[in-house]
Copies of this chain bind each other. A is one copy, B any other.
């Protein structure tokens, strides 16, 4: 049983990498929220912009899979404080003061109530304040239909500077796919991904797109790579065969690393290598948070994936 969410995972990851972060959400005034906040504080995530109110904190139950048995997540997020939040509860001008990047995910936009509008408010204000806007497409069929997602996310895209997604999300939300790829069969087509990124740019005006490229050998073993499309060019990372410890939070750690490399102005090739190495390490760590430091990520990037004991 856990209560973290995609954006919290990103914030913690970034804090561990040494970046200053602030987590914006709404939580009820309860001891359970206090636990969640204590955890965020322990990682140094700012919590001053969390709105207090509402009835409950969303939860989920995770049954970890293995081999042919897939992991299973059961959500108990209905009626959560954030899903019932109102537009006037967030003072974005104040929140974005001194900020550099605004990150949000399609999960938040899809929670219903006023959340889609709240995301638009935030994006509009972020652009006004000169922030870089990053978005993880993150489609969840339990939240909304593909049509609903397409409409809401379509309206948000004009504000997004860097879109993060995988092939499945893009297919569900935008109805676009990478020709020649078949994730279940484990076949990925590089050319197809380049074209997919270009299509997203052409249709939605998103200048940069970062893809995670996962091929499942089994629920225990996955291949993991990434692609960054930027300045009209595609950069593919090396591929890792991961013996999974916990894949939940893998995408979020990728988002965090993408924000890190943008903030630290990495070259595109090094940027995608870093983001993939970071999220590879996350998947060898239990629970949702990526506890890998920049030093550990760079050690993996630079080739020592041999797993020799570090003494």
Contacts and interface: CB of A to CB of B under 8 A. Distances in A.
B66 A245 contact: yes
A234 B186 CA distance: 30
A234 to B, nearest CB: 24
A68 B309 contact: no
Interface in A171-211: 183-184, 186
B66 A78 contact: no
* Identical subunits present: 6
Interface in A58-82: 59, 61, 63, 65-76, 78-79
How many chain A residues sit at the interface, stated as a range, is 35 or more
Contacts of A137: none
A284 B219 contact: yes
B71 A309 contact: yes
A146 B306 CA distance: 22
Residue with the highest number of chain B CB atoms closer than 10 Å, among A68, A241, A280, A303: A68
A152 to B, nearest CB: 19
A76 B1 CA distance: 14
29 contacts: A30-B74, A31-B63, A41-B41, A41-B44, A42-B42, A56-B79, A57-B76, A66-B243, A66-B284, A67-B244, A68-B240, A68-B242, A68-B280, A68-B281, A68-B305, A68-B307, A69-B292, A70-B306, A70-B307, A72-B311, A73-B310, A142-B311, A216-B306, A216-B307, A218-B243, A219-B305, A220-B243, A220-B307, A247-B309
Contact of A61 (B32, B61, B241, B245): B32
Contacts of A235: none
A145 B249 CA distance: 40
Contacts of A218: 241, 243, 305-307
A123 to B, nearest CB: 25
A306 B183 contact: yes
Residue with the highest number of chain B CB atoms closer than 10 Å, among A141, A183, A219, A222: A219
Nearest to A64: B309
A248 B281 CA distance: 21
B307 A69 contact: yes
A285 interface: yes
